[in-house]
Chain A
Amino acid sequence: MFSKGKQVLYSVVDGLRTQKKLWLLLIVWSSCGIWWGTDRYIDTYRYFYELDISVADILILLQEKFIFGIVILPFAMFPVMKCKQRSMNTQSILRYGGREKFFRRQLGESIVYAAIITMVMIGIEVVIAMLYHLPLINWDSKSSLFFVKARCLVSENLWTVMIAVSLMYFVKLLLDMIVLDILLWNSKYLLFVWVLIMVQASVYEDDGFELFHGLFLIQYPFWPTPWRHGVVLLIGAVAAAMLYFAGRFFIRKKDIFK
């Protein structure tokens, strides 16, 4: 018998293998969206504003609602749902000896799926940006987009930006996947995952109060004060914990034989 961590990992690998066509389709679709977004941003900033743009800038800019919220997120949730739906049956829940243990396993799978999708998306973004022969990072130059937006110069490396943006993607994906995990227990309402994703993509700043895609993102002005991004991540962690406890409460008395 494998350890719990290995079980989760093997389950995810199995999901990736069985739904490989869907995952491939997601990669192709996301690549098209990312390529379109990159092209548009290069046009806007390099040719219109005549600013030097780098791979790191592309990572920051592609966090926008249309690319991540509408082009990537709704489509990414579909293969995840398909993979998870297979393991959601009475036998599996009985084998785990309890609803809560099974829910924790679902959460573990969500963490792995969110991490994989994040890494793949960041990888695609970096590769596509590099195809345009952009410098990796130029935030120490006065002609950079970073200087115009943040009003300061910093010497960073691309890895730091990649990790920061990845964390934001991860939080967004994980929050939606926990909602998916909860609704998988009552598949009648599973459609609400996509309604929620569309609500997240539609809401905008209201009286300075940012929500979801406006909140969980790396912003140029906050870069010199990283604790602000830390607070945002903390909000994400608290929201994930709250969703987890709400899910535990929701499934507490769920009839698994129906």
Chain B
Amino acid sequence: MKKIVKEELNRAVKNKGMVLALTIGIVIAVSHVIQCIIPAYHANEMMEFEKFPTIYPLTVSDTWLAGNQVSLESFLYFLVLPIIAVLPFGTSYFADGQSGFLRGIYVRIPRKKYLQAKYIAAFISGGLAVVLPLLVNLMFALVLLPNMSAATILPCNRMEAVNLFYTIYDSYPLVYIFLFLCLDFIMGGIFACIGLACSYLSDYKIIVAICPFFIQLTVHIIFSMLMKMEYSSVFFLQSGYGISAPWVVLLYIVIGIGLSAAVFLKKGEKEDVF
């Protein structure tokens, strides 16, 4: 099993899809640096903290890509997150079926092991594709902005005391950011695995690839219309928006992993590839 997982992981990380996903992500992350982080650095430089001690500088936790949900790049990044997650390995099962690779592999190893390895590799590749551009942006923010507790009076983002992990956000901003990076990794992995589960839906690769995006977009639109923004993954994945309904996040994770694994593994075992 370890050998197959290693092989699949190798395929998942070293491919053109990963390069494409990272390119999209890093373009958005760097444009956020140019649009928001560098101006924030200049704003901090211009502030006369000695003269006006009540002024608070712009910090890493309220300025980085996921820290401030009002910027165009933040909204865009989390809107196209399923596309970024699916690109590396989300459509690989479909592509393996089309190329005949599946027939070759199924005569050598048990289906179940191969499907499990594929699921793990897709999950990790999706998570990595989502988290790496965020890390690049965070590095820029750490270089240019102070890493200290964010302003609590007149905050720059939507963080409120009722949000989950608020005390951590207030005391250890980097730990709070790390927790959200983990959550983004998990959701990226889930979207990639939804792509795998959608492999049985169509004969066209593009439809398999676009499914997770449409699922997230539909959910986002419905919750926006119901004025329940905190239930949309476009918002709760951003550390600057915070989590005010933890059970919703838990539901997303349980349903996402449970349903995608059940559909992909069960259907994969029964599917006739010969």
Chain A residues within an 8 Å CB radius of B83: 191, 194-195
Tell yes or no: B18 within 8 A of A by CB.
no
Tell yes or no: B213 within 8 A of A by CB.
yes
Q: Given the known A-B contacts A202-B76, A203-B72, are A194 and B213 also in contact in the complex, defined by CB atoms under 8 Å?
A: yes
Q: Mark A35-57, 1 if CB is under 8 A from B, else 0.
A: 01000000000000000000000
Chain B residues within an 8 Å CB radius of A195: 24, 80, 83
Contact, CB under 8 Å: A81 / B206: yes
Contact, CB under 8 Å: A78 / B210: yes
Tell yes or no: B143 within 8 A of A by CB.
no
Tell yes or no: B107 within 8 A of A by CB.
no
Q: Give the complex CA separation of A81 and B206 in angstroms.
A: 10
Chain B residues within an 8 Å CB radius of A191: 83, 87, 206, 209-210, 213
Contact, CB under 8 Å: A70 / B217: yes
Contact, CB under 8 Å: B225 / A199: no
Chain B residues within an 8 Å CB radius of A70: 217, 221
Within 8 A of A (CB), among B43-91: 72, 75-76, 79-80, 83, 87
In chain B, what residue has the closest Cβ to A81?
B206
Contact, CB under 8 Å: B206 / A198: no
Contact, CB under 8 Å: B75 / A202: yes
- What is the minimal beta-carbon distance from B249 to any residue of chain A, in angstroms? 22
Chain A residues within an 8 Å CB radius of B24: 195
Q: Given the known A-B contacts A78-B210, A191-B210, are A198 and B80 also in contact in the complex, defined by CB atoms under 8 Å?
A: yes
- What is the minimal beta-carbon distance from A211 to any residue of chain B, in angstroms? 11
In chain B, what residue has the closest Cβ to A70?
B221
Contact, CB under 8 Å: A199 / B217: no
Chain A residues within an 8 Å CB radius of B87: 191
B205 CB contact (under 8 Å) in A36, A187, A202 = A187
Q: Give the complex CA separation of A33 and B207 in angstroms.
A: 23
Q: Give the complex CA separation of A66 and B204 in angstroms.
A: 29
Chain B residues within an 8 Å CB radius of A202: 72, 75-76, 79
Q: Mark A188-214, 1 if CB is under 8 A from B, else 0.
A: 001100110011011110000000000
Q: Give the complex CA separation of A227 and B73 in angstroms.
A: 34
Tell yes or no: A71 within 8 A of B by CB.
yes
Chain B residues within an 8 Å CB radius of A85: 204, 206
Within 8 A of B (CB), among A11-41: 33, 36
Q: Mark B215-241, 1 if CB is under 8 A from A, else 0.
A: 001000100110000000000000000
Tell yes or no: B214 within 8 A of A by CB.
yes
Q: Give the complex CA separation of A231 and B210 in angstroms.
A: 35
Tell yes or no: A74 within 8 A of B by CB.
yes
Contact, CB under 8 Å: A74 / B204: no
Within 8 A of A (CB), among B159-210: 204-207, 209-210
- What is the minimal beta-carbon distance from A190 to any residue of chain B, in angstroms? 5
Q: Mark B6-18, 1 if CB is under 8 A from A, else 0.
A: 0000000000000
Contact, CB under 8 Å: A199 / B221: no
- What is the minimal beta-carbon distance from A176 to any residue of chain B, in angstroms? 15
Q: Given the known A-B contacts A195-B80, A195-B83, are A190 and B217 also in contact in the complex, defined by CB atoms under 8 Å?
A: no
Chain A residues within an 8 Å CB radius of B75: 202
Contact, CB under 8 Å: A78 / B205: no
Contact, CB under 8 Å: B79 / A198: yes
A190 CB contact (under 8 Å) in B80, B206, B214, B224 = B206
Q: Give the complex CA separation of A191 and B214 in angstroms.
A: 12
Chain B residues within an 8 Å CB radius of A194: 80, 83, 210, 213
13 sample A-B contacts, Cβ–Cβ < 8 Å, listed by A number:
A70-B221, A75-B214, A78-B214, A85-B206, A191-B83, A191-B87, A194-B83, A194-B213, A195-B80, A198-B80, A199-B76, A202-B76, A204-B72
Q: Which 7 A-B pairs have the closest CB atoms?
A: A202-B76, A190-B206, A198-B79, A202-B72, A36-B225, A198-B80, A202-B75
